[in-house]
Structure 1
């Protein structure tokens, strides 16, 4: 059973989405300086697309993200600590996640989404890498039996 099968079952899905959105908000709140201002401004613009847009997007991309993360998570399970493994391999984890968002944005017909993403894509990997430990903890919370 893959991550998406277990984490997106009806009893967990809404909680996983909510925790992912809260993790994103926490990551944004921790950012400072010019890059932090740029990220917060971009996020505010995306929130303005329509009410509930961020949870909607999270719900839409989570299955693909979990599929992309499944091999890395499985390796971590084999090593004994998937949270630590994702954190230690945050570059590969970020690449897997960004491949999903890159594909999603490429097919987006919303100019504000595409334009905002393209402006920030150059620094995205660093920010995603910083979020990997928190994301791994969210995943772990829902994969425990």
Structure 2
């Protein structure tokens, strides 16, 4: 039985499927956005994917280890509790989990040598937390699905 997210999500034979599932999650979250801000998100995302069709999967893959490390304490609590879904645990701690996950991109932006990247990121960051919080139920379901598959095998 796999007890850590690292065992579940980062195993070499499982990682490509996890990256693809996270990319699909991002696609679904973007598609579900509405209103003026949703239109802006959809437009920007579409443009990025048009310019570089592998941008999202490459970004997910390059940051996956760090995202998993940030989620690991929440997963350990979930395993220790022994009940409920991981999606429920994430949504029950949505503000803290969103900050933890965004810490990965915060670190990446802070480490950039390009001032333009830092400037754009600082403008987008306040809205990003809301979007991450909204995506947590799907993320929890994705992780629950992979955990069930690993533990069934």
**TM-score normalized by the length of structure 1:** 0.88
**Equivalenced residues, count:** 145
What residue number does 1:106 align with?
Answer: 110
What residue number does 2:95 align with?
Answer: 91
The alpha-carbon distance between structure 1 residues 111 and 58, as it changes in their structure 2 partners (threshold 3 A), is farther
The alpha-carbon distance between structure 1 residues 110 and 73, as it changes in their structure 2 partners (threshold 3 A), is same
Cα deviation digits, residues 29-51 of structure 1 (max 9, x gap): 11011110121122234335533
Provide the alpha-carbon RMSD of the alignment: 2.0
Q: How does 1:22-37 map to 2 (within 5 A)?
A: 22-37=24-39
Paired residues of 2:87 and 2:144 also in contact (CA < 8 A): yes
* 1:47 matches 2:49: yes
> Structure 1 regions of 5+ residues with no counterpart?
none
- Secondary structure of 2:24's aligned partner: helix
> Structure 2 regions of 5+ residues with no counterpart?
none
Select between 36-45 and 98-107 the one with higher mean Cα deviation.
Answer: 36-45
Give the superposition deviation at 1:78: 1.8
What residue number does 1:143 align with?
Answer: 147
Paired residues of 1:76 and 1:86 also in contact (CA < 8 A): no
**TM-score normalized by the length of structure 2:** 0.84
Higher-Rg member (1/2)? 2
The alpha-carbon distance between structure 1 residues 115 and 46, as it changes in their structure 2 partners (threshold 3 A), is farther
The alpha-carbon distance between structure 1 residues 112 and 39, as it changes in their structure 2 partners (threshold 3 A), is farther
Give the superposition deviation at 1:109: 4.8
The alpha-carbon distance between structure 1 residues 113 and 53, as it changes in their structure 2 partners (threshold 3 A), is farther
Select between 75-84 and 125-134 the one with higher mean Cα deviation.
Answer: 75-84
